[in-house]
Structure 1
Amino acid sequence: MTPADLAAVIQRAATDVLNAHDLDATVVPDSVTVERPRNPEHGDYATNIALQTAKKAGTNPRELAGWLVDALVADPAIESAEVAGPGFINVRLAADAQGQLVSQILEQGEHFGHSDSLGGQKINLEFVSANPTGPIHLGGTRWAAVGDSLGRVLEASGAEVTREYYFNDHGGQIDRFARSLVAAAKGEPTPEDGYGGDYIGEIARAVVDKRPDALASEDVQETFRALGVEMMFDHIKSSLHEFGVDFDVYFHENSLFESGAVDSAVETLKSNGNLYEADGAWWLKSTDFGDDKDRVVIKSDGNAAYIAGDIAYVADKFQRGHSLAIYMLGADHHGYIARLRAATAALGFDPSAVEVLIGQMVNLVRNGTPVKMSKRAGTIITLDDLVDAIGVDGARYSLVRSSVDQTLDIDLDLWTSQSSENPVYYVQYGHARLCSIARRAADSGVTVEGADLSLLTHEKEGDLIRTLGEFPGVVAAAASLREPHRVARYAEELASSFHKFYDSCQILPKAGEEAQPIHAARLSLATATRQVLANALGLLGITAPERM
């Protein structure tokens, strides 16, 4: 029985007892809180439903809690229930009910933890979207790890997710990139507003290798722009793929202008009265929709402002049938939240269907001192640098295990250590140890077939089973709150609970001993734990090694 299962039992019991006492049962909440008490002596789970409901129903909390206790103990899945304090209810599950959870995990396998809580939602998830003017820096790398994990969590909750990369190939930064390449090819200094780093020289040489006449072409800058952007973006896609991140759609900003989508969006805003002309320019009435100022969409020289592409792009997302657009942007993009929602509303779409997640900065440290390690990319540290330093799994886990609204320091010594202090090593070691148990069980002939799971009554067995039962709720919360770090923290908690169980309970018979029913039961619990740990790591895009 998971916490969600118990919550449903309590909800039904509350409805029944209120009806039985001729009280208003409609006040029973749709969502019942069930939590594990900090002190295990208080039971397996606790609920405050009586405190939530009693006054609205016309009774007092302790009286309602007493009625609920009587109803709950009649359920064979509940061993005991008692009223605590002003009206809390502490519950202990029967061993059979706990064992049923192990059976449920073994039956559902890799699907345990999945739900349809977001079923029917078609979500456009845009993340990374680094400009093709240089390698992906640490901020973009954080979004690669978090965005990919969030996509997995949303899909596990029933949503249809389109992972999208917005390929910014239009505007001034691309011109500066092209001028930098031309200067490098000619052996000239980097332009004052250009891009530095060894990678610029590498791409410039690659352009010349591919087009020996590049410097003599009719439009030198356009030649270097087209080939240089293509090569840079190929490198970005390759780095992301090796990082375990691939996208369903690579959307080119330039296509919005070439297809007429920008012109169409402008005409829509003119026709619905949300674009007005002043000082020779066209302005979006964004203050009417919560922005702090109106925004220029078409400048007085007739050229589109940067926001014009943003407006056409958000329209395109909804026109493709997405019910929700999630943008994952860097720490310097706070101002985009209000303007994106204003543009959405001005176009006639629901602004609440736009969510913007802002990620904070990432720093590399060693012994508490910032590390600067990139030569190829100039002054920035890149995705490739981080992977070279701590590996793909270490990089992904270190970036995804903390809330994105926190500035993150990655300690290189910690994330390369093979110790329990290293979170990813600790979790992966737990999975590898569970795989070792499975191999030894096969050698000794112990199987999970026909196991009597009601034998799992040891304190550490109960703790582990209840931790397993929390996984579906963790995944659901990670999806609804857009916080995949919850899955990482849960994986660490599960690994800790397993190690304590392993240290306290003999899972397999010792050499020369005959297998007993308890061994099959504990092997079942270990197998279920291995499955859930693998499921959690899978949602994070982290490998689940069988040996370490």
Structure 2
Amino acid sequence: MDNIVQKVKSEITEIVTNSIEKAIKSGLLNIEDMPSIEIEEPKEKQFGDLSINTAMVMAKSAKMPPRKIAEIIKDGLKLKGTLIDKVEIAGPGFMNFYLSEDYKVEALKLIKRKGSDYGRVNIGNGKKVQVEFVSANPTGPMHMGNARGGALGDALSSILDYAGYDVTREFYINDAGNQIEKFGLSLEARYLELLGEHAEVPEGGYHGDDIIERAKEFLELYGDKYKDAAPEDRRKALVQYGLKKNIEKLKEDLEAYGIEYDVWFSENTLHESGEVESVIDELKEKGYTYEKDGALWFKETLFGAEKDDVLVRANGYPTYLASDIAYHKNKFVKRGFDWVIDIWGADHHGHVAPMKGAMKALGIDPDKLDVLLMQLVRLMKGKEVVKMSKRTGKMVTLRDLIDEVGKDAARFFFNMRSADSAVDFDMDLAVEQSNENPVFYVQYAHARICSIIRQLKDDGINTDDLKDVDLNLLNEEAEIDLIKKLAYLPEEVTIAAKTMAPHRITRYILDVASLFHTFYNSCRVRGVDEELMKARIVLIDSTRIVIKNVLDMLKITAPEKM
């Protein structure tokens, strides 16, 4: 088994179940239903490595004090052939399990054997999952919300890949609808201004420097060719040019951030293919729409939404909701995804119920759609909130952030907290080369191990060919704590994938780095007994493998020198 923690949990479940069944047959316990066995990791080391509260859960049905039940279960446990050394009863009836010496040996051998694949599990069984994230309007540069969404979505995609899912990363290009009309009007105003014409950016239009820049580039290419053209033709040409340039810039910035999408999906193609019109007709036929004030409305309240929303405006144009429903039908029906995960800003929370409701209306299981709502980001320098870029005097963009703190720090910091927690991003800390900087702290642990291995090789010690190493020599508390944490990577990947929680992996690797630094400060590798040195070489190299695998998963550099 690639997950040794899961192996032990399975052993606990089996021996406890067998003991309870034996006690029922012998008349020591009288219960009708077998309890579910919930296994947890105790917060304090003195309570063992894993713990269950099964006896307390059974107390009412068994009509017996939980501690007495725990004693009966304990007496019937068969530990031989398992990775469990002993079991103790604590408090009102907790059963605490302590792992055997074989556990640490098996854990380290597994890490060394799996190498760069260590941490991979197969809970997904190739299930097709699509993660759609960032999906910024292509009408301007990306902001801090996009930066967080990018780090979150890309890390989650990697974790799901590690967990055995067939993952597709997707960017939905909002290249249709009202914002594109405003984009075209804004570009047109700037283009005409540059030609000496009187023009104004419309109310609700785009006033950024990037719009002026696109208009200048368009003028350089086409001169006054579109000055006297029909407004519709002029705007169409400007939009085509502006979108192409902006999407190229989005791709460039995201690649600098370490993100490469499998699919860039154009909203406009849904209109051109007739999929938007088709899904509106389907909802009509199924009786989920009605007309009011000249518009067509979707009966969202039938599916738990607070209010109904417009599908087609009175002017005949479909709304964003209509195209989004068509887009999600396309994901499930046309492309056959088994699971779809959308990462949206918290301001889109009102859109979740309508989208799930629409899936149900279309006969698609709404539970196959998950939406992660992401809270806001505040950039901090010292105690001051940063709102403007020093370089441009405008809002801080994704590119500004990468230039200021680097890809590694940005990706790490954004994944340190759950999506539903607001983030204060400390820009000073992100560039600080000290143990206070979490990404530096983890990268330094990796570099420190690489340095030790280089020094050992300089001493003529072959660290690659270590046969017949006695790993039972690793008995120091710092060694055992580190081994147990290393053993948890496949379990952390499993839980992070199931709960869609990349921050678990970031916190995990911080714990690994902390335990390694503790080990380094208390246990020498060079200059000790040769057999002990060999065992410790295996331990530090296993730690290097784990840190490297996690940083690779998060697309963060694992430096060999710092």
User: In the TM superposition, what whole-angstrom CA distance separates every residue of 1:253-310 from its partner, at most 9, and x where no partner exists?
Assistant: 1111110001110111122222233443322121111111222212233221221111
Q: Which amino acid aligns with 2:155?
A: S
Q: Which amino acid aligns with 2:398?
A: L
- In the TM superposition, residue 17 of structure 1 has moved relative to its aligned partner by 1.1
> Do 1:155 and 1:161's aligned partners in 2 also have CA atoms closer than 8 Å?
yes
Q: How far apart in 1 are the matches of 2:155 and 2:376?
A: 18
Match of 2:54 in 1: 49
The 5 A counterparts of 1:122-521 are: 122-185=128-191, 186-187=193-194, 190-216=201-227, 218=229, 219-319=233-333, 320-374=335-389, 379-444=394-459, 445-447=461-463, 448-509=466-527, 516-521=530-535
Structure 2 CA distance for partners of 1:373 and 1:296, relative to 1, 3 Å: closer
- In the TM superposition, residue 506 of structure 1 has moved relative to its aligned partner by 1.1
Structure 2 CA distance for partners of 1:301 and 1:371, relative to 1, 3 Å: closer
Residue 406 of structure 2 aligns to a residue whose secondary structure is helix
Structure 2 CA distance for partners of 1:355 and 1:377, relative to 1, 3 Å: farther
Match of 1:7 in 2: 9
Q: Which amino acid aligns with 1:63?
A: K
> Do 1:130 and 1:167's aligned partners in 2 also have CA atoms closer than 8 Å?
yes
Q: Which amino acid aligns with 2:299?
A: K
Q: Give the aligned CA root-mean-square deviation in angstroms.
A: 2.1
- In the TM superposition, residue 59 of structure 1 has moved relative to its aligned partner by 5.6
Q: How far apart in 2 are the matches of 1:192 and 1:374?
A: 25
- In the TM superposition, residue 213 of structure 1 has moved relative to its aligned partner by 4.3
Q: How far apart in 2 are the matches of 1:259 and 1:60?
A: 67
Structure 2 CA distance for partners of 1:220 and 1:76, relative to 1, 3 Å: closer
Q: How far apart in 1 are the matches of 2:49 and 2:315?
A: 69
> Do 1:62 and 1:86's aligned partners in 2 also have CA atoms closer than 8 Å?
yes
> Do 1:121 and 1:160's aligned partners in 2 also have CA atoms closer than 8 Å?
yes
> Do 1:95 and 1:455's aligned partners in 2 also have CA atoms closer than 8 Å?
no
- In the TM superposition, residue 239 of structure 1 has moved relative to its aligned partner by 0.3
Q: How far apart in 2 are the matches of 1:206 and 1:477?
A: 49
- In the TM superposition, residue 19 of structure 1 has moved relative to its aligned partner by 2.4
Match of 1:538 in 2: 552
- In the TM superposition, residue 32 of structure 1 has moved relative to its aligned partner by 3.5
Structure 2 CA distance for partners of 1:214 and 1:72, relative to 1, 3 Å: farther
> Do 2:157 and 2:167's aligned partners in 1 also have CA atoms closer than 8 Å?
yes
Q: How far apart in 1 are the matches of 2:106 and 2:62?
A: 34
- Pick which of 452-461 and 41-50 moved more: 41-50
Q: How far apart in 1 are the matches of 2:225 and 2:392?
A: 24
Q: How far apart in 2 are the matches of 1:44 and 1:14?
A: 16
> Do 1:197 and 1:377's aligned partners in 2 also have CA atoms closer than 8 Å?
no
- In the TM superposition, residue 171 of structure 1 has moved relative to its aligned partner by 1.5
Structure 2 CA distance for partners of 1:50 and 1:516, relative to 1, 3 Å: farther
> Do 1:178 and 1:224's aligned partners in 2 also have CA atoms closer than 8 Å?
yes
Q: How far apart in 2 are the matches of 1:323 and 1:221?
A: 40
- In the TM superposition, residue 527 of structure 1 has moved relative to its aligned partner by 0.9
Match of 2:34 in 1: 27
Structure 2 CA distance for partners of 1:109 and 1:69, relative to 1, 3 Å: farther
Q: Which amino acid aligns with 2:221?
A: K
- In the TM superposition, residue 241 of structure 1 has moved relative to its aligned partner by 0.8
Q: How far apart in 1 are the matches of 2:121 and 2:63?
A: 36
Q: Return 5+ residue gaps in structure 2 as ranges.
A: none
User: In the TM superposition, what whole-angstrom CA distance separates every residue of 1:93-146 from its partner, at most 9, and x where no partner exists?
Assistant: 222321110111111112222212222432121110000110110001110010
Q: How far apart in 2 are the matches of 1:244 and 1:204?
A: 30
Residue 334 of structure 1 aligns to a residue whose secondary structure is helix
Structure 2 CA distance for partners of 1:382 and 1:279, relative to 1, 3 Å: same
Q: How far apart in 2 are the matches of 1:100 and 1:130?
A: 47
> Do 1:79 and 1:94's aligned partners in 2 also have CA atoms closer than 8 Å?
yes
> Do 1:214 and 1:220's aligned partners in 2 also have CA atoms closer than 8 Å?
no
Residue 450 of structure 1 aligns to a residue whose secondary structure is coil
- In the TM superposition, residue 26 of structure 1 has moved relative to its aligned partner by 6.1
Q: How far apart in 2 are the matches of 1:301 and 1:190?
A: 23
- In the TM superposition, residue 375 of structure 1 has moved relative to its aligned partner by 6.8
> Do 1:11 and 1:28's aligned partners in 2 also have CA atoms closer than 8 Å?
no
- In the TM superposition, residue 4 of structure 1 has moved relative to its aligned partner by 2.2
Q: How far apart in 2 are the matches of 1:140 and 1:95?
A: 47
Q: Which amino acid aligns with 1:461?
A: E
Structure 2 CA distance for partners of 1:366 and 1:295, relative to 1, 3 Å: same
Q: Which amino acid aligns with 1:111?
A: D
Match of 1:63 in 2: 68
Q: How far apart in 1 are the matches of 2:279 and 2:218?
A: 36
Residue 291 of structure 1 aligns to a residue whose secondary structure is coil
- In the TM superposition, residue 396 of structure 1 has moved relative to its aligned partner by 0.9
Q: How far apart in 2 are the matches of 1:49 and 1:503?
A: 40
Structure 2 CA distance for partners of 1:56 and 1:4, relative to 1, 3 Å: farther
> Do 2:39 and 2:50's aligned partners in 1 also have CA atoms closer than 8 Å?
no
Residue 153 of structure 1 aligns to a residue whose secondary structure is helix
Q: How far apart in 2 are the matches of 1:192 and 1:76?
A: 71
User: In the TM superposition, what whole-angstrom CA distance separates every residue of 1:158-193 from its partner, at most 9, and x where no partner exists?
Assistant: 111111111001112112222222333323664443
Residue 340 of structure 2 aligns to a residue whose secondary structure is strand
Q: Which amino acid aligns with 2:277?
A: D
Q: How far apart in 2 are the matches of 1:72 and 1:49?
A: 17
> Do 2:55 and 2:93's aligned partners in 1 also have CA atoms closer than 8 Å?
yes
> Do 1:286 and 1:294's aligned partners in 2 also have CA atoms closer than 8 Å?
yes
Taking structure 1 as the reference length, the TM-score comes to 0.94
> Do 1:280 and 1:300's aligned partners in 2 also have CA atoms closer than 8 Å?
yes
Taking structure 2 as the reference length, the TM-score comes to 0.91
Q: Return 5+ residue gaps in structure 1 as ranges.
A: none
Residue 131 of structure 1 aligns to a residue whose secondary structure is coil
